Structure formats: structure tokens, C-alpha cells
């Protein structure tokens, strides 16, 4: 059996056992752990010297229409598969006791994981799309059934937004397929990339814009971002970890996989539009983040804001910018997963996430304060974390994209985007002070317990990944850079 198929089947089979009521927490943790080990094994087994798609398996379903169930992974796919397995393991580990439908809860987490891994491993356009849609359904259920606040209203809002984005994306994918000459028509992403690079298919700007805004809505590109903060604040912490940390990366992965090799001219043609929108993510959403009065909403808006940096690397369209963007997908995924895990623990310990009711928590929960401090520093891009390395690459790549000897659109946008680093430091450090330092808030008692061992070790695992790839980014860049070797440095 293909190891990539095993990565998809393990969470699906584990989910089936969970729904059957067979000790869901233990079996989920076992299945997620096995998948993490398999993901690490595949990363170690990948031959960087050869590069390209490896571990390929293919089964023809409807050959007349070019439909095959095809799996394969290159360096970019494997890094994101590793991200998915890491965050899934951590999300299952931090899940507290579920009072109702525990088996279904764990099954939904595992379905999201299987869908994300399937999308990253698919080299057939149909299954690339279908696996993502599979992962969206349990997301709605997790918010609507186990969420907090106005969970049903928010679940419907998320459903409408993401269904609309998926529909636009589907139109773009159909347009991409129709642009292939009839005698060469295929759904194989590898062949589509080759045809696009050779100029044998010219989908045109309309198809590019459909893909841009379809993926953009799923990523929470400004101004289509309002679904994300409320969804993450209302969702259970493990669900927020998986969606913000993994599933939202599907849109950025799709742009790297399809738009970069097939639409380089269109990316340059509409670069100014994307620059304006990404500055909305970084500056406008950044200021909105500063104004939040709840920790979970602040983290939700923070996640949206950081997507602006990724889009800056995308429109740079050079090795440095796209390598930084790819590294940011991994770094941001681990960072936001750690923050939502700790946010959920704070809510369980104190019963609130309102800044006005918190304060002085480090005095009674020092381990929780220390872990949150590490995650917060990673979020603001402190040197030593892979978030810093990715942001530096994006900024240098975008600035180099501009015209030498003048201060053009790219360089102006990069200079403005740099203020996002200051904004993120302000809101994150202020939140850290409000929650953990100063006078003790009304929700913090002497008997407030420190972080549980499960959450502690899960977050340590995520932070260790950030530090390891921060001190030595080449661990991942050796896999990522060859994917964009055909572009200018």
C-alpha cells in the first residue's frame, strides 16, 4: 500500500473506531501518533537530490475524462503533511473530557486531518478539491455542536462563506481544465504545470481571478475575512488548532501549486490589487486585533493578519519570497495551534477569556505563563523561531521584486507591511501582560490550577518544532527551495 494512502486511511479508520465507541481518546491518540511517525518517516525517506514528486501511486477511475486517484508528494507537500500530522497529534492530546458524543468529536478531528492530508498529497485536481471539501464538513459540526457563544449562527456564517469560496474555486478549476487542449486534457496537476510552463495552455486572467478569490476566501483574504475570527473564537480549541493551523493552509498551498507555475503573467498583472488587499490584512486587521477585548477573538484576528505576509511572498514571485511563504505556512501553523491550545486551557482554568477579568495568572499558573510567553514570542517573529526566518525571507523577497533604483509599489508595500511586525508585538505583548501579569483578575483564584500535563507536553512539542526550524531553517528549506528553483532568486 502507498505510504501516502496510509496517511489518509489511518485517521479515517481511527475515526470509524471512535464512532463505534471504542475508547475514543486513546485510540485517537494512538492513530494520530502513528500518522506523525509515518509523516516523519516519509520526510526522512524523500530523496532531495532527485526532487520532484515521489511516493507516487495511481489508479485509473475514469480514464476517458482523465480522472485518476493519484497521490504523490514533493518537498512542499511533505512539509505540509508533517504540519498536519504534528498539529493533529497535538490537537487530540490537548482535547479535554468531552461530555457529549465524545466519539463523534474525535472522529470529526480525524476527518479534518484526513481531508487536509489528502488534499496535500493529491496530484489529481478532482481529489485535491474533494479532500478539502471532506475536511470542511466536520469543521461546521465541531462549531455547531461543541462550540461556544452563538455557535449555530457562527457555524452557518462559516458554512455560507466557505461554501461560496469553494464554489468560486470550483469554477476556476473547471476553467483551468477547459483551457487544456482537448487532445491533452488532464486533471493531473503535474501535467497541468508542465503545460502551463510550456505555454500550451492559456487560461487567462478570468480563471486566475477565480482561483485567487476562491482560494482567498478560504484563506481569509481581506475583505473576505470576517468569518474566521468568530469561527476560531467559537470553535473548541482542538478544532481551532486544526482549521487555523492546517486546513486554512490549503488555499495558500493551492496558489503555490497552481497559480505560480501556470499564471506567472497574471500574478504580475494583478500584483497591485493583491498588494492592496494584503495590506488590508496586515494593517487594517492588525489594528482591529489591537482593539479586541477577548483573547480568543484576538488570536483569531491575529491569524487573519498573518495571512497578509504569506500573500506578500506570493506576489513577490521569486525563490526568496515563495520559499519564505512556504516556510511561514509551517511556522504559522505550529504557532497558532499552540496559542489556541493554551487559550483553551486558560478558559478551562478561569472560565473566561475576557481581558478585563484576567490578570496575574502567572502567579498561580507559572508553567502556563511560560508556555504562552514562548508561543507569543513566536507569533511576533522573535529571532530563533521559524516565524522570524520566514518573515525575513518574505520581506527581502518582496523588496527585491521592486525596480532597482526606485521606490515602487512593491517596495512601498513591503515598507508598510513591516509595520505589521510592530502591530503584532503591541497586541500580543499587551495581551500577555493583561492575562498573566499585573493585579489578579476576578476570574483568577488561589485554587486556579496550572496547565495540565497533556496540554503542556503537546505545546512543548509544537514550540520545539518552531525552535528547531528557527535555529536551522535549512531543515525545511532544503525541501522547499527546489520546488521554486525555476524562478529568479
Summarize pLDDT for 312-330 with one digit per residue, the tens: 999 998 899 999 999 999 9
Using CA atoms, how far apart are residues 415 and 396, in angstroms rounded to an integer? 11
Cell reading at 34: 502513528
Q: Are 280 and 305 in contact (CB under 8 A)?
A: no
Which DSSP string corresponds to 265-319?
Answer: HHHHHTHHHHHHHHHIIIIIHHHHHHT-SBHHHHHHHHHHHHHHHHHHHHHH-SH
Give the residue among 115, 87, 113, 221 at the shortest CA–CA distance from 162: 221
* 281-299 pLDDT, tens digit each: 999 999 999 999 999 999 9
ω into 223 cis (within 30 of 0): yes
What is the pTM (predicted TM-score) of this model? 0.93
Structure-derived torsion over alpha carbons of residues 261, 266, 268, 272, reported in degrees to the nearest 10: -130
The pLDDT-based confidence of 405 (bands split at 50, 70, 90) is low
* 85-133 pLDDT, tens digit each: 999 999 999 988 887 888 888 999 999 999 999 999 999 888 999 999 8
Distance of CA 330 to CAs 44, 208, 384, Å?
A: 17, 25, 15
123-151 in b/e burial notation, b at 16+ Cβ within 10 A?
Answer: bbbbbbbebbebbbebbbbbbbbbbeeeb
Q: Is 62 left (phi over 0), alpha (psi -120 to 50) or beta?
A: beta
* 231-281 pLDDT, tens digit each: 898 889 999 999 889 988 999 999 999 999 988 889 999 999 999 999 999
Mean pLDDT for all residues in the chain: 89
The pLDDT-based confidence of 60 (bands split at 50, 70, 90) is confident
Domain boundaries, the chain: 270-489
What is the average per-residue pLDDT within 36-58?
A: 90
Using CA atoms, how far apart are residues 451 and 234, in angstroms rounded to an integer? 21
What is the average per-residue pLDDT within 441-448?
A: 79
H helix intervals, 20-97: 24-45, 75-94
Using CA atoms, how far apart are residues 470 and 331, in angstroms rounded to an integer? 9
Q: Which residue has the higher pLDDT, 472 or 453?
A: 472
Q: Is the pLDDT of residue 82 over 90?
A: yes
* 178-203 pLDDT, tens digit each: 888 877 777 888 888 888 877 777 78
Residues 6+ apart with CB under 8 A from 319: 397, 481, 484, 485, 487, 488, 489
What is the average per-residue pLDDT within 327-338?
A: 94
What is the average per-residue pLDDT within 148-163?
A: 86
Q: Is the pLDDT of residue 488 over 80?
A: no
Please tell me the predicted confidence (pLDDT) of residue 96: 85
Please tell me the predicted confidence (pLDDT) of residue 65: 63
Q: Is 78 left (phi over 0), alpha (psi -120 to 50) or beta?
A: alpha
Strands (E), 173-285: none
Q: Which residue has the higher pLDDT, 146 or 331?
A: 331
Which DSSP string corresponds to 354-380?
Answer: BGGG---GGGT-HHHHHHHHHHHHHHT
Q: Rg of the chain's alpha carbons, rounded to an integer? A: 21
Please tell me the predicted confidence (pLDDT) of residue 118: 93
The pLDDT-based confidence of 63 (bands split at 50, 70, 90) is low
What is the average per-residue pLDDT within 406-414?
A: 82
Residues 6+ apart with CB under 8 A from 474: none
Using CA atoms, how far apart are residues 462 and 53, in angstroms rounded to an integer? 27
* 339-385 pLDDT, tens digit each: 999 999 998 888 888 888 888 888 888 999 999 999 999 999 899 99
Amino acid at each position: 500500500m502507498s505510504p501516502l494512502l496510509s496517511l489518509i486511511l489511518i485517521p479515517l479508520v481511527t475515526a470509524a473506531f471512535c464512532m463505534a465507541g471504542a475508547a475514543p481518546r486513546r485510540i485517537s491518540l494512538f492513530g494520530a501518533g502513528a500518522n506523525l511517525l509515518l509523516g516523519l518517516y516519509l520526510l526522512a525517506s524523500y530523496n532531495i537530490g532527485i526532487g520532484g514528486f515521489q511516493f507516487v501511486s495511481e489508479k485509473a477511475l475514469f480514464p476517458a475524462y482523465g480522472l485518476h486517484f493519484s497521490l504523490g508528494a514533493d518537498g512542499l507537500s511533505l512539509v505540509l503533511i508533517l504540519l498536519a500530522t504534528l498539529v493533529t497529534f497535538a490537537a487530540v492530546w490537548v482535547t479535554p473530557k468531552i461530555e457529549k458524543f465524545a466519539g463523534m468529536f474525535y472522529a470529526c478531528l480525524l476527518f479534518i486531518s484526513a481531508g487536509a492530508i489528502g488534499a496535500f498529497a493529491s496530484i489529481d485536481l478532482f481529489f485535491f478539491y474533494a479532500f478539502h471539501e471532506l475536511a470542511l464538513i466536520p469543521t461546521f459540526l465541531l462549531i455547531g455542536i461543541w462550540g461556544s457563544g452563538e455557535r449555530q449562527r457562527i457555524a452557518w456564517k462559516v458554512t455560507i462563506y466557505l461554501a461560496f469560496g469553494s464554489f468560486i474555486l470550483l469554477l476556476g478549476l473547471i476553467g483551468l481544465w477547459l483551457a487544456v487542449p482537448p487532445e491533452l486534457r488532464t486533471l493531473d496537476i503535474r501535467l497541468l504545470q508542465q503545460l502551463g510552463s510550456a505555454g500550451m495552455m492559456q487560461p487567462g486572467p478570468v480563471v486566475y481571478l477565480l482561483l485567487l478569490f476562491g482560494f482567498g476566501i478560504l484563506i481569509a483574504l481581506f475583505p473576505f475575512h470576517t468569518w474566521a475570527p468568530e469561527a476560531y473564537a467559537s470553535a473548541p480549541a482542538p478544532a481551532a488548532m486544526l482549521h487555523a493551523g492546517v486546513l486554512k493552509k490549503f488555499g495558500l498551498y493551492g496558489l503555490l501549486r497552481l497559480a505560480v507555475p501556470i499564471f506567472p503573467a497574471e500574478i504580475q498583472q494583478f500584483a497591485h490589487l493583491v498588494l492592496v488587499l494584503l495590506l488590508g490584512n496586515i494593517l487594517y486587521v492588525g489594528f482591529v486585533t489591537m482593539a479586541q477585548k477577548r483573547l480568543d477573538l484576538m488570536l483569531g484576528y491575529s491569524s487573519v493578519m498573518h495571512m497578509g505576509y504569506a500573500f506578500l511572498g506570493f506576489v513577490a514571485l521569486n525563490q526568496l519570497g515563495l520559499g519564505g511563504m512556504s516556510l511561514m505556512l509551517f511556522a504559522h501553523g505550529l504557532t497558532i495551534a499552540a496559542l489556541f491550545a493554551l487559550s483553551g486551557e486558560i478558559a478551562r482554568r478561569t472560565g473566561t477569556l475576557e481581558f478585563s477579568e484576567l490578570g496575574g495568572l502567572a502567579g498561580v499558573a507559572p508553567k502556563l505563563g511560560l508556555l504562552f510567553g514562548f508561543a507569543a514570542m513566536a507569533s511576533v517573529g522573535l529571532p530563533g523561531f521559524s516565524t522570524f526566518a520566514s518573515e525575513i525571507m518574505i520581506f527581502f523577497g518582496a523588496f527585491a521584486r521592486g525596480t532597482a533604483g526606485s521606490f515602487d509599489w512593491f517596495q512601498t508595500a513591503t515598507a508598510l507591511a513591516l509595520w505589521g511586525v510592530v502591530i503584532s508585538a503591541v497586541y500580543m505583548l499587551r495581551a500577555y501582560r493583561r492575562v498573566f501579569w499585573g493585579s489578579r483578575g476576578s476570574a483568577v483564584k488561589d485554587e486556579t490550577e496550572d496547565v495540565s500535563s497533556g496540554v503542556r507536553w503537546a505545546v512543548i512539542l509544537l514550540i520545539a518544532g518552531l525552535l528547531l526550524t528557527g535555529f536551522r531553517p535549512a531543515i525545511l528549506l532544503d525541501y522547499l527551495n527546489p520546488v521554486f528553483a525555476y524562478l529568479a532568486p
